[in-house]
Amino acid sequence: MSPSHTHSNIEVLSDVARVLADPVRLQLLAIIGAAREISCTQLVAQADVTASTVSYHIKMLTEEGLVSIIVDGRRRYVRYEPHHVRQFARSITAPGLFGGN
């Protein structure tokens, strides 16, 4: 295993992969990514799921750093964090992760 793929790095990759494996979370991330920033109300309407479902999945995406929450008065916005998504993509395709060069 290369130095960049230590046990703790593998755990982080596994956590992000687990979060992205859920179809609802992936749909939400796609909607947020397309908008770059979207209100929670708009996200619920576009995703066609309940507010509690969005809240649950946004919490998980936030914990992995894939999105962030912006509070503006009484409104909450979800912001896409592309650098974390790109970092995950680079890490998962890095040489040596699966025995390749």
pLDDT for 20-57, tens place per residue? 999 999 999 999 999 999 999 999 999 999 999 999 99
Is the Cβ–Cβ distance between 54 and 41 less than 8 Å?
A: no
Which of 63, 98, 100, 59 shows the shortest CA–CA distance to 84? 63
Domains belonging to the chain, first-starting first, are: 3-90 (1.10.10.10)
Lowest mean pLDDT among 59-68, 70-79, 90-99: 90-99
Query: What's the order of all strands across the beta sheet hosting 67-72?
Result: 37-39, 75-80, 67-72
Q: Give the pTM.
A: 0.82
